[in-house]
A and B are shown apart, each in its own frame.
Chain A
Amino acid sequence: MKIPVIVWTLITITFAGLNQAEELKEEDVRISVARLLTEAQKYDGCTVCVQGELVGDIFRARGGFWVNLLEGDQCIGLWIPDGLKLGIGRLGGYQVRGDIVRVQGTFYRHCQKHHGGMDIHVVSWQTILPGYEDREEVTGEEFLSVALFGIIGLCTVFLLKIISRRQSGSSHNGENQRAGSGLL
């Protein structure tokens, strides 16, 4: 009795191990968000691994929260259940680069839980690179050149206005003189 149980256990463990290894292998293959979106039907319901920058805001919802992941010029929503422990440092925005994360989760083309939206239900999470501020230096020269451009331009227009007023004034005077001589 003992031998069959040991054999069965060994076979089960081996199969489970093989399956685990295969699953991990599949999960480890990173898919680009662009490919995921264009081949949504193929990956629907599959475990996928995507990497990208967290951008925008966090939206709380019942049982978890939403955050969006950007890779290249494509973005996808990540659903993160409450139980998952993770630390989000920064979210990408103006002059801020968000955390670069690698997430594993199940991709849904039409998520039943979330009214049919396209999303990834995150299972595990790894921060590859923490976010940082990406401030653009503004030089005084930039402001000065714009101000100079404005002042010179407006002065030119103002001068133009004075000249045209004088010209129209002198032409009016001429007309008045001609009219007066006519009367005389």
Chain B
Amino acid sequence: MIPNFSREDIKIIGYYLGLMITALAVVLCFPLLVALFAQEWAAVPDFLFAIFICLIFGFALQTIFPAAEDINWRQGMCVVALTWVITMFISAIPLYLSGHFLSYLDACFESMSAYATTGLVLIQDLDHLSLSHNFWRHLMCFTGGQGIILVGLIFLFRGSGALRMYIGEGRDARILPNIKSTARFIWLVSFTYLVLGSLLLAGTLMMTGVSFPRAVFHGVCIFMAGWDTAGFAPQSLNILYYHNILFEILTVVFCFLGAVSFGVHYSVWTGHFRELRENYELRVLMASVMVFYLFTLLGFSKSMSQFTGVGDFFRSTFYQLISGHTGVGFSNIPSCELAGWTELSLLGIIFAMGLGGCTNSTSGGIKALRVGLFIKSLRKEVKRFVYPEGASIEEHFHHQRDVLVDDQQVRTSMGLTICFVLLYLSGALLGTFLGYGFLPSLFESVSASANVGLSVGITSPAMPSILKIWYIFQMWCGRLEFIAILILFRFFVTLGKK
């Protein structure tokens, strides 16, 4: 049982929340600079307004709740969960003011979808959106993918409180002994890849005659959306817009990079290439890609003739599978084409999306490590029956170091897996209740909860508001992996009692 929250807890939560909201003002300055640079004067007040709200709200909270103490576990979790909600509301302001959303709820949906790196969109007339607003959509993906709290960790927090908030954001591994250096490493990796990846993508576009500024803009946006497994794109056609096979191959590479744990990135950066071969989670991920692709293949066994060749088939099906499995959500076919896939093929994509990428990466879903743990624990149980009584039964796996499978680990990961499955089913049932088919509803629900962003067409501005709100909740839960949100609920129950 979580103990009740005291007045002191509220004070500390309020103070740290204020700090995080102030940090958001700094992030909002980047799209403002883009608006000034691109001379998009109409967009400037939108961002200024949001920045002022951040500063006023952030400083007010810090003034009303002055706190000098370090933050504890449950306070940290509350701050994380609340930060994500308030950040969604504030970040939606410039989006809504752009005039490209039917309602403020739609803008909030887009904002949460970006931060949670989902990639489901409700924006209208995306092809006429300003560069600054479009950049803001992608910057939210980049910030949310690394973790909103991770932004604050570098500048704002001291002491052990930082670790508590870092873990609350769905990250469970410290790559380096110090949490601040871990945060710095994650940002170093992300920025290095951002520069290299954006230049590669921009270069590919420039080869097709696109001007340098346009190519860089598209390169940066697509990289941020790909690396952070968000799946947004600056144009409504998504990846199909570029009509470029090399560009698509590059995005697949970035999807993979984004879905790999930062721990593996660290090993590779420090010259331990063996990790790529031995990491158990990566092996599970590769195996599941192959298994679920077989589902897709079987699903198309009777309708292969619609494809013009092996290349075409591979491009259409493998791209969606990788995009779904890594949680990116880029698409090189229209959503109505995806909706027309056979049930077995759709199930293959649904399973792949539900499973997701690696832990401590930017992708969502149950995560390959938890599935791997489940397999190991099953093996352990089978061995228990087969081996003589009293024999010592151990299961190991390699995940940056040799790890012994213990029951506590298995229980925790099974608990989270059950939470994810329930979340997937809840959205599917709601969708079915609202009149959509069960399989499309399940597809969309898994896509939202596992922060993927592929759509079979349910997600649109015309869908019922209750479904929009539920998808926002699913994206939030899926990204933070439940614990922080459950503690926040407890916080609100305590407030209600008082």
Contact = CB atoms under 8 A, between A and B. Distances in A.
Contacts of A147: 48
A97 to B, nearest CB: 8
Most chain A CB neighbours (cut-off 10 Å) among B55, B64, B243: B243
A142 B59 contact: no
A118 B63 contact: no
A134 to B, nearest CB: 8
A56 B56 contact: no
B432 interface: no
A37 B334 contact: yes
Contacts of A1: none
A94 interface: yes
A97 B337 CA distance: 28
Interface stretch (A12-20, A22-30, A107-115): A107-115
Nearest to B312: A116
B444 to A, nearest CB: 18
A58 interface: yes
Contact of A110 (B60, B210, B308): B308
B177 to A, nearest CB: 37
A49 to B, nearest CB: 19
Given A59-B208, A160-B60, A161-B59, A110 B312 contact: yes
Nearest to A168: B66
B85 interface: no
A95 B130 CA distance: 8
Contacts of B66: 164, 168
A60 B308 CA distance: 23
Contacts of A66: 208, 243
A168 B67 CA distance: 12
A143 B32 CA distance: 14
A89 interface: no
Interface in B202-223: 205, 208-210, 214
B124 interface: yes
19 contacts: A58-B209, A59-B209, A59-B210, A60-B209, A68-B127, A77-B237, A93-B128, A94-B40, A94-B129, A115-B311, A115-B315, A116-B316, A117-B315, A118-B334, A119-B243, A150-B52, A153-B52, A154-B52, A156-B56
Interface of A: 37-38, 40-41, 55-61, 65-66, 68, 70, 73-77, 79, 92-97, 109-112, 114-119, 136, 138, 142-143, 146-147, 149-150, 153-154, 156-158, 160-161, 164, 168
Given A75-B237, A77-B240, A117-B243, 16 more contacts: A38-B336, A55-B235, A56-B241, A65-B209, A66-B243, A68-B241, A77-B241, A79-B243, A95-B128, A112-B312, A116-B307, A117-B315, A118-B334, A138-B45, A154-B59, A157-B56
